[in-house]
Chains A and B, each alone.
Chain A
Amino acid sequence: MALLEIEGLSIGYGTRNGLLRAVEDVSFTLEAGGSLGLVGESGCGKTTLGMALMGLLPPNGKIMAGKILFEGQDLKESTEEQWRKIRWRKISMIFQAAMNALNPVHRVGDQIAEAISTHRPEMPEREIMERVAELYRLVGIPVERIKDYPHQYSGGMRQRAIIAMALACNPRLIIADEPTTALDVIVQDQILKEIKKLQEKLGLSIIFISHDISIVAEVCEDIGVMYAGQLVEWGPKEAVFENPVHPYTKALLASYPTLMGERERLRPIPGEPPNLVSPPPGCRFCDRCPSAGKSCKSQAPVWAQVGPRHKALCNACS
């Protein structure tokens, strides 16, 4: 049994202009110990998907259809009380340090300790602090910084502390939402290596959300490409990189520079994603797609099975 199985998940936001379909009919699986990178531009639904996995959709957000099977149990049916036990203990999250993810008025060590004591109220104070120190060593922050406040940390240290916090309760799944955005490239690289090392060492499963496909490629085994609320291509990293099928994936790969390859002109993708309140009936990418056929605009795309674990949501490329 896969650790996480998402089946036909659709999420909508109630807005003044009507229902915004932020995520539509997304399905994928993640094995225990596996890692999936979700890539896509801003507004493609990747963060909404991550929040739904934590049961943290904003009040106007709602799961319209589908299942989130985690360890075989549908999380969609969970009550708030059950969610509170799943959060952090089973599924935790690495937030972006550039955001105010740490509370400025509490000491960093205390904020990590709080996560532990909430889920293990029986654990004595001293043991909790030992665990926090152990986590500090694990992510490479000097232990004597436990008593510091978030603003006393550098950006990289804050990100490490957030990672330590995510690991605090030994979760089975970690959702990392843009964990390296807004860090400089050297620190970004250190953090990515750290995440990868920890994932292997602790046997974690990770969903890594990023707008940057090159970052995702560094950490994840599988890649899922999202566009306008839909998953449009999913498969092992190698397959997606070497044999991208969906025109959006191809365009995405062409829009990033490579250090080693030939010097090429970067090709931005012209146009913009459709309005998700009233999405077009056919393929959502066809207006920007260089290889769109006649039927693409009117006919909803179906999944094309490219390899045993590689699929793309496209009618033109099968």
Chain B
Amino acid sequence: MELRRYIIRRLIQIAIIFYVILTVLFLLFRLAPGDPVSRMVDPTMTPEDAQRLISQLGLDQPIWVQYLYYVKNFFTGNFGHSFHYGKPVVEIIWDRLPNTVLLFTTSIILSALVGVFLGKIASWHKGKATDAVLTIGALVTHTVFLPWLALIMIWLFGYKMGWFPITGMISEEVWLDPESGIFAKALDVAHHMVLPLSTLFLIHFGAYLLIMRSSMLETLKEDYIITARAKGLSEKVIRDKHAAPNAALPVVTSVGLSLAFSINGGALTETVFTWPGIGRELVFSVSHNDYPLAQASFLLIAIVVLLANLVVDVLYAYLDPRIRY
């Protein structure tokens, strides 16, 4: 139908945009300072060995041949081996990605749900004490510098109180113990997740609260709110059924894009909490000239951002019946 045709059209667009990104990325890596060979080549190597390595990497070929290899490798799923780890890049990414998705998806969904709920309440009590407390609270937590908050959380709840582990995602004594079942392991991960999750939550829920609040205030001016009131509906029904669904639309966009950018945007959080995710890996690979890993991570981000945009658009069509493609 219409929606399917729209999705197909968008997928074609996405493919074209992605191809452009792929090419730009290739050029960027050739232009970047630093020589991959110098990292690989050992001073003790003989010149013949060094030369063999260079030709193995294809770096002695003209640039357009390199480009064709690059495109071919992408489409055959061959991303090469990480210089640093010596393992296939795909393996490393598959290893790190779920950790990032777990932490950030949970934090974004949690902060969006709480933000929408509190934003609704703030708009309903506009100008009163409840509104002031919520709005100021949201502004303060949202503008706090994330690494600072993260360190404070670690210092207070990890170090002073000792309630939560300070680093990592798992405790070895739990995971290496053959006795511990799946439940104990999950509990262990959850325990490690509390600090990074609450840090991310505190930083992000304010944004959703503010978006929802202003969107609600706009929606409450609409004529259909007067209709709803004239029909004798209770204030709760007017707020939850007639205003909130319309007001929540801008939040959906924001959530979708946050999810997309969380793949890379979490670098700071992952570094402070030493969370073994993709963001930390990306920073590491760039600063250590691990070209294959960096290249693959960038491509992954591009794909996720492009697809997230499509998902947001389709979700919009589902939530707002006026939008049909």
Residues of A bordering B, CB below 8 Å: 54, 56, 83-89, 92-93, 95, 99-106, 114-115, 118-119, 149, 151, 165
From B222, B320, B321, name the one whose CB has the most chain A CB atoms within 10 angstroms: B321
Is B10 in the interface zone, CB < 8 Å from A?
Answer: no
7 A–B contacts, CB within 8 A, in A order: A88-B232, A95-B227, A101-B224, A103-B242, A104-B246, A105-B320, A118-B237
Q: Which residues of A contact B58 (CB under 8 A)?
A: none
Q: Please, which residues of chain A bring their CB within 8 A of the CB of B237?
A: 118
Min CB gap A81→B, angstroms: 10
Q: Is B137 an interface residue (CB 8 A)?
A: no
**A105 close to B222 (CB less than 8 A):** no
CA distance A105 to B227 in the complex (A): 14
B319: A residues at CB distance < 8 A: 105
Give the distance to chain A from B2, nearest Cβ to Cβ, in Å: 14
Query: Whole-angstrom distance from the CB of A94 to the nearest CB of chain B?
Result: 10
B residues 230-262 with Cβ under 8 Å of A? 230-234, 237, 241-242, 245-246
Beyond the given A84-B233, A95-B223, A149-B321, could you list 4 further A-B residue pairs with CB under 8 A, ordered by the A residue number? A88-B231, A100-B224, A115-B231, A118-B233
Q: A95-B223, A100-B222, A100-B224 are in contact. Are A105 and B230 (CB under 8 A)?
A: no
B contacts, CB < 8 Å to A: 222-224, 226-234, 237, 241-242, 245-246, 319-322
State A104–B241 Cα separation when bound (angstroms): 12
Q: How many residue pairs between the two chains, A and B, have CB atoms under 8 Å in the bound complex?
A: 67
Candidates A95, A103, A118, A165; contact of B232 at CB < 8 Å = A118
A103 close to B227 (CB less than 8 A): yes
Residue of A nearest to B237 (CB): A118
B246–A103 CB distance below 8 A: yes
Considering the chains assembled together, what is the distance between the CA atoms of A104 and B245 in angstroms? Answer: 10
**Would you call B228 and A103 a contact (CB within 8 A)?**
yes
Cα–Cα, bound, A95→B226 (Å): 10
Check B223–A87 contact: CB distance below 8 A.
no
Residues of B with C-beta under 8 A to A56: 226, 229-230
- Cross-chain contact A85 with B226 (CB below 8 angstroms): no
Q: Is the CB–CB distance between B231 and A87 below 8 Å? A: yes
Q: How far does the Cβ of A108 sit from chain B's closest Cβ, in whole Å?
A: 11
- Closest Cβ of chain B: how far from A182's Cβ, in Å? 13
CA distance A105 to B247 in the complex (A): 11
Residues of A within 8 A of B241 (CB): 106
Docked-complex contact A87 and B232, CB < 8 angstroms: yes
Candidates B230, B242, B246, B321; contact of A151 at CB < 8 Å:
B321
**Across-interface contacts of A114 in B (CB, < 8 A):** 231, 233
Bound CA–CA A283/B322 (angstroms): 50
Judge whether A54 and B233 touch: CB under 8 Å: no
Which of A84, A86, A92 has the most chain B CB within a 10 Å cutoff? Answer: A84
- Closest-CB distance, B120 to chain A (whole angstroms): 16
Tell me the bound Cα distance from A211 to B226 in angstroms: 21
Instruction: State A114–B234 Cα separation when bound (angstroms).
Output: 12
Contacts of B222 in A (CB 8 A): 100
The 7 closest A-B pairs by CB, nearest first: A87-B232, A103-B224, A99-B223, A149-B321, A100-B223, A115-B231, A84-B232
Docked CA distance A85–B231 (Å): 9
B248 to chain A, nearest CB (A): 10
Residues of B within 8 A of A89 (CB): 232
**A149-B321, A149-B322 as given contacts; A104 in contact with B231, CB under 8 Å:** no
Q: Which B residues are in CB contact (< 8 Å) with A85?
A: 232
Contact B322 A104 (CB under 8 A): yes
A88 and B223 contact, Cβ closer than 8 Å, known pairs A104-B321, A105-B245, A149-B321 = no
Max count, chain A CB within 10 A of own CB: residue among B227, B232, B322: B232
Closest residue of A by beta carbon distance from B228: A103
B128 CB to closest chain A CB (Å) equals 12
CA distance A296 to B224 in the complex (A): 43
Assembled-state Cα–Cα distance A88/B230 (Å): 7
Knowing A149-B321, A151-B321 touch, does A102 contact B224 (C-beta < 8 A)?
A: yes
A99 and B225 CA atoms in complex are apart in Å by 11
A151, B322: Cβ atoms closer than 8 Å: yes
Residues of chain B contacted by A86 (CB below 8 angstroms):
232
B226 proximity list for chain A (CB < 8 A): 56, 95, 101
